[in-house]
Amino acid sequence: MELIPWGQLPKSQIDPEKIEEAIARMIVEHNNDPNAHTEEGQSLYAHKTAEVIQHAVESIVADKIKNFEIEPNKLNWDMPYIDSHFESLENIVWDKRGDAYCDLWCGLGGLRISATRTQDGGFELYNQLIGFQTRWEKNPVFQTRLEVVASSGTTQYWGIGTRYFDEILYTRAGFQVKNGKLYAMTAWVDDNEIEHEYREEITGIDYSKSQTYRVEVYKDKNEIKYYINNILKKTITNYLPWNEGMYGPIGCFGFVIDPIGAGSPKFYIERFAVVQNP
């Protein structure tokens, strides 16, 4: 909008408007003009016609996109991706340690894992090792919706990688319930093949009810982010598995009850998903 110099504006001896008031009025008129800055070479014109529109990173959120607007050809199919509602347990492995006994009930849209033991034992569920393998350098993301039934002396874990009872050498990162408390955690094995864990407590979450848990790995930034119900709860920047352990994760996910402890600890898992960069 072209601004006419004050001296060229028509004058009126009966108009009480002051210069400051006139300026304020013209600013309001400009702000209300839907065509302001839309001429060629001006800012809104460049914004509307640019091949790439620059916005802050992660500034576009879900509620700005209409339902059913994302088409499959807009997705990056190069990214390895699994999204399971437990249509079956084919290609999923479960293993026991010690005196463990486990029941699995699988139905479309849910899996229940119930574990007991007579002496000492553990249970883990993970994917066939000839399939999808997560790599820390590919910044994997794991997400699941589940509820946890804990019992005395039980430790329950879910996240990227598993313990792998056959050969406990691998790293992992996820959530853990231990002694009745919920943690964000990492785990690794040192050169002497001794497993270590680092954990930070998460409060205010009732893990006995269904919650959505997500682990986002950023090896390039040296951090792991832990979300519950899309709210960031923890960011771990120390004791990162790729800095501490000998090997990367094995498999792409793990659900572990070890030790089983007293009683009958359980997982009620609705679904899980894993994705990583190509």
**pLDDT value, residue 216:** 97
Q: What is the mean pLDDT of residues 56-82?
A: 81
Q: What is the mean pLDDT of residues 182-188?
A: 97
Cα separations (Å) of 21 from 2, 9, 32, 97, 186? 18, 14, 17, 81, 63
**pLDDT value, residue 119:** 80
Give CA torsion, residues 22, 28, 33, 36, to 10 deg: 80
Which of residues 125 and 167 earns the better pLDDT score?
125
Please name which of 73, 257, 69 lies closest in space to residue 155, comparing C-alpha atoms: 257
Alpha helices, H only, 107-209 = none
Which of residues 261 and 144 earns the better pLDDT score?
144
**pLDDT value, residue 13:** 64
Burial class (CB in 10 A: 0-12, 13-18, 19+), 241: buried
Q: What is the mean pLDDT of residues 250-269?
A: 93
**pLDDT value, residue 189:** 92
DSSP letter, residue 7: G
Give the pLDDT confidence of 1-15 residue by residue, as tens digits: 567 777 777 766 677
Q: What is the mean pLDDT of residues 60-67?
A: 83
**pLDDT value, residue 1:** 57
Q: What is the mean pLDDT of the chain?
A: 89
Locate 179 and state its tokens: 């002694």
> 166: how many CB neighbours lie within 10 A of its CB?
10
Least confident of 68-72, 127-131, 135-139, 193-197: 68-72
Q: How many CA atoms lie within 13 A of 130 on its CB side?
A: 2
In three-state secondary structure terms, 20 is helix
Locate 215 and state its tokens: 């682990």
Q: Which domains does the chain have, with CATH numbers?
A: 6-54 (no CATH), 81-275 (2.60.120.200)
**pLDDT value, residue 195:** 92
**pLDDT value, residue 264:** 92
With a pLDDT cut of 70, the percent of the chain lying above it is 98
Helix (H) or strand (E) holding 101: strand 92-107
